[in-house]
Amino acid sequence: MDGSGSLDLHWLAPHPALRPAIKAAQASLESDAAKSFADLRLLAGHRLDFLTTMQVDRLADAAFRAAPAMWPEIRLAMLGASSMEHLRAPIRVAGARRGLQITPFIGGFGRFRQELIQPDSQLHAFKPDVLLLSLRTADVIERLPLGTTSEQVDAAVAAGVQSLVDLWRIARTEIRAAVIQQTFLNTDYPVFGNFDGAVAASSHSITDRLNRALRDAAAIESVMLLDVALWSAVQGLTPWYDPVRWHHAKQLIAPSAAVFYGDLIGRLLAAMRGLSAKCLVLDLDNTLWGGVIGDDGLNGIVLGQGSGAGEAFIAFQAYAKLLSQRGVILAVCSKNTHEIAEAVFLDHPDMVLKREDIAAFVANWNDKPSNLREIARTLNIGIDSLVFFDDNPAEREIVRQILPEVAVPEVPEDAAHFVSCLAEAGYFEAIAFTEEDRARAGQYRANSERSQVMQSGTDTGAFLTSLDMKMTVAPFTTVDLPRITQLANKSNQFNLTTRRYTHDQMAAFAASATVVTLSFRLVDKFGDNGLIGVLIALPDAADSQVLRIDTWLMSCRVLGRQVEAETINQLYRIARDRGFTTLVADYIPTSKNGLVRDIYARMGFTHIAGDAGSATQWSLPVADFQPTETAIAVDAQFQLQAAE
């Protein structure tokens, strides 16, 4: 919280002269729109408060009018029974912070059910991509007498949640919008004092139960949660809810929380589009421990029991370890002698993070921007997937200047606040927690072992054979859908068409009798790589003998392992068995997928349309295809589908 009691964006750097910068960006809008948008994104990435957010929003408004197609648009409909007008600017600016053009629509006060149900409503006409339901307990459960039994309360809660599940389904089937459900802000004071929680029908208890049931239902339905109840429990109710604002203006979310609230929506929408960061890059001295290992030595650094600071560094390491366990990759980038830095991980008894938790360990005397590039390259992820956490303001500044795409939080002076800094910044926002997330840390570790094997042997063929690779190919299954959707929405490099699909759209492909859906898993002697490839192919609308590859993407973790060749082998077999004569494929270039520009040429396809630099089209007569020999043993589970 800032000094005035607002939830501020403390992890973002303050801007030294906002007004002139906004004016400059506004002035260049006509002559150089691209620069104005870059400036807008940069300005939005500073520590704005509610009022400066409105100023930046005016720039955003002018920019979006001048060049409506510069950024991807997300149409966000907000429905509820509270006043939400003051949230418009914070949401739009939170989008700008991430290079997204959010177009908000605020539904009629308290008319959320009618708007959803009636096909001729303004909501339907707006055609939202995402629907946000922001409700209060009273909107879904009628007031229960205090004497109501626990079972009756649960029944009312279940009915209330079911009424929301019904609305979610309407939103997804009738409006084809992804759903964000806001949890219920618990604004009620206890009636019984400390005994309140023992009374099932106290207002506070009901909202508690409602939130619990809502979270379970959202997980089952794959609906995204905007968990204001969680945040207000962590940060306190006061910045979130102001009874004066509620009674005077029916603002459920107080202006003091508006900017943070907007950012929560920004990060959810970004996560939905696969834009969440993937890797936390940590400095060492005064970031993971107190002091300088090169000067103070193993016994001199501050870490562990015995001092408050030493315990705070341990707590931060423990948080980073939890991030790693949920699938965030950890890396180290430190100005140190490699052996001395690494020795702390190997030999210091109080280290929570171990050497094997770090997927890329870079300790040398090069400049940090070069090292960050190297880390991204080693891990095969984009520079914009990195979050750089360093206590040294000079290092932060140089990284911000040279690599503006890297997220660089303002690190607090006191290590006791490192965890809240990272947690509230929300760089790693998740909308699912999959089997692959759980296994990722081990996979990256195995990857570095594999590349060591690769370096030790020069014969690639022998190396691949030595990996003992086994690939499982299957049509999309319900169990795999969350991972398939996640992978399809975040793969940028090995992604031929970069089409993004929601969970529901993927489910529709899976259910279709004509669409060919394939998912690929790879296991080798170092471990399970998990689900690493997705392919969707549809019979061509004009010629039913032509099978067109709509989507093909692969995790870059398994690049150079012949998975791509084996993928085309498998697709070929299906096409042949189902009587297709020709495979047709597109490559749609983006700023990130240059890697696969020539993949179809390498796979034996013929170039049929499109110039280099633009979208290209490729074709392959099924009768002419010769499957590529690979070192991968295949377990194909799609015959079941093909035999239907």
Structural tokens at position 283: 């400095």
CB of residue 233 to another protein, shortest distance in Å: 23
Q: Which residue, 89 or 185, has its beta carbon nearer to another protein?
A: 89
- Alpha helices, H only, 381-434: 393-402, 418-425
Q: Which residue, 51 or 138, has its beta carbon nearer to another protein?
A: 51
CB of residue 256 to another protein, shortest distance in Å: 8
CB of residue 71 to another protein, shortest distance in Å: 24
Query: Which amino acid, 466?
Result: S
Can you tell me the distance from the alpha carbon of 288 to that of 95, in angstroms, rounded to the nearest whole number? 32
CB of residue 244 to another protein, shortest distance in Å: 5
Cβ-based neighbours of 206, under 8 Å, separated by 6 or more: 137, 141, 144, 153, 156, 157, 200
Q: Which residue, 39 or 550, has its beta carbon nearer to another protein?
A: 39
φ/ψ of 280, rounded to 5, equals -100, 115
Closest CA to 102 of 273, 245, 299, 278: 273
Q: Which residue, 4 or 478, has its beta carbon nearer to another protein?
A: 4
CB of residue 382 to another protein, shortest distance in Å: 37
Can you tell me the distance from the alpha carbon of 361 to that of 283, in angstroms, rounded to the nearest whole number? 10
| Angle in degrees, CA 144, 147, 151, rounded to 5 | 75
Burial of 635 (0-12, 13-18, 19+ CB in 10 A): exposed
Q: Which residue, 3 or 349, has its beta carbon nearer to another protein?
A: 3
CB of residue 104 to another protein, shortest distance in Å: 14
Q: Which residue, 57 or 390, has its beta carbon nearer to another protein?
A: 57
If you search the block for the tokens 């300088």, which residue do you land on?
A: 292
Q: Which residue, 181 or 256, has its beta carbon nearer to another protein?
A: 256
CB of residue 272 to another protein, shortest distance in Å: 29
CB of residue 211 to another protein, shortest distance in Å: 28
CB of residue 22 to another protein, shortest distance in Å: 10
Q: Which residue, 85 or 577, has its beta carbon nearer to another protein?
A: 85
Closest CA to 93 of 267, 214, 216: 267
Q: Which helix (H) or strand (E) holds 54?
A: helix 50-66
Can you tell me the distance from the alpha carbon of 81 to that of 130, in angstroms, rounded to the nearest whole number? 18
CB of residue 81 to another protein, shortest distance in Å: 18
The string of DSSP letters for 519-536 reads EEEEEETTEEEEEEEEEE
Write b or e for each residue in 430-442: b if 16 or more Cβ atoms lie within 10 A of its Cβ, otherwise e: bbbebebbebbbe
C-beta atoms surrounding 591 within 10 Å: 7
Cβ-based neighbours of 321, under 8 Å, separated by 6 or more: 352, 353, 357
Structural tokens at position 454: 């690769």
CB of residue 1 to another protein, shortest distance in Å: 12
Q: Which residue, 87 or 301, has its beta carbon nearer to another protein?
A: 87
Can you tell me the distance from the alpha carbon of 44 to that of 475, in angstroms, rounded to the nearest whole number? 42
Q: Which residue, 50 or 476, has its beta carbon nearer to another protein?
A: 50
Q: Which residue, 137 or 251, has its beta carbon nearer to another protein?
A: 251
Q: Which residue, 32 or 85, has its beta carbon nearer to another protein?
A: 85
Long-range interactions of 31-37: CB distance < 8 A, separation 24+: 33/63, 33/66, 33/67, 33/70, 34/70, 36/63, 36/66, 37/63, 37/67, 37/70, 37/71
CB of residue 110 to another protein, shortest distance in Å: 18
* Positions that interact with another protein (CB under 8 A): 3-6, 19, 49-51, 54-55, 58, 85-86, 244-245, 247-249, 251, 255-256
3-state secondary structure of 78: strand
- Alpha helices, H only, 290-387: 293-296, 308-325, 338-347, 368-379
